[in-house]
Amino acid sequence: GAGVSQSPRYKVTKRGQDVALRCDPISGHVSLYWYRQALGQGPEFLTYFNYEAQQDKSGLPNDRFSAERPEGSISTLTIQRTEQRDSAMYRCASSARYAGGLQETQYFGPGTRLLVL
Amino acid sequence: AQSVSQHNHHVILSEAASLELGCNYSYGGTVNLFWYVQYPGQHLQLLLKYFSGDPLVKGIKGFEAEFIKSKFSFNLRKPSVQWSDTAEYFCAVHSGGGADGLTFGKGTHLIIQP
């Protein structure tokens, strides 16, 4: 089937505005991950879900960041009161296996490039 | 916390040259290891992975990587590069056991000159 999709692909917003980034995983994939990638860096883990349950949000930078996956499929990453330092590429990945163990392969979407002015 | 080091941030080679990109990780337990590639304008794609067994793994497009546990390394190799290999390459580690996401290196930007 189709790969992981993300929308929007690009988002420009003004400081202080809220943004919502969407991820649609590969059909049937159990786990879903969010990463953030600053310029010149590798992706950095934010949070992940098994089905609709958020398992680990230790990577979220602060309480302005939240994520949900209410029906165990599409996920939304929300950033409230955006700041310029939030500008980055936000990547989503999904995996067929129940996350938390090894031997799991994550497949990435195209990412959403966020620019906060 | 575990970390991943990619020693070369920018590499420039001519076509047909041999390639080796270094990757070292810090975690001492059981790990899964990955190389991902991002071609210009495209998303991150899996190049190859190591879970267990033969430490020499082969991936797509003629790439291979060798897991050397004693050196905490997972270097990526290709005997003869092509212009189309121009991309950014990321090494990543998954250790499980509570570290649920992948830990990535900073990436190596590879430019192949025709």
Q: What is the pLDDT of residues A38-72, one digit of tens each?
A: 998 999 999 999 999 998 888 999 999 999 999 99
B106–A42: do the CB atoms touch at under 8 Å? yes
Q: Which of A96-100, A113-117, B105-109 comes out lowest in average pLDDT?
A: A96-100
Q: Cα distance from B98 to chain A (closest Cα, Å)?
A: 7
Q: What is the pLDDT of residues A101-116, one digit of tens each?
A: 677 899 999 999 999 9
Q: Cα distance from A8 to chain B (closest Cα, Å)?
A: 14
Q: Report which of B101, B53, B44 is spatially closest to residue A59, judged by C-alpha positions.
A: B101
Tell me which chain B residue has its CA closest to the CA of residue A103.
Answer: B51
Residue pointed to by tokens 């996401």: B101
Q: Rounded CA gap, A105 and B65, in Å?
A: 17
Tell me which chain B residue has its CA closest to the CA of residue A49.
Answer: B100
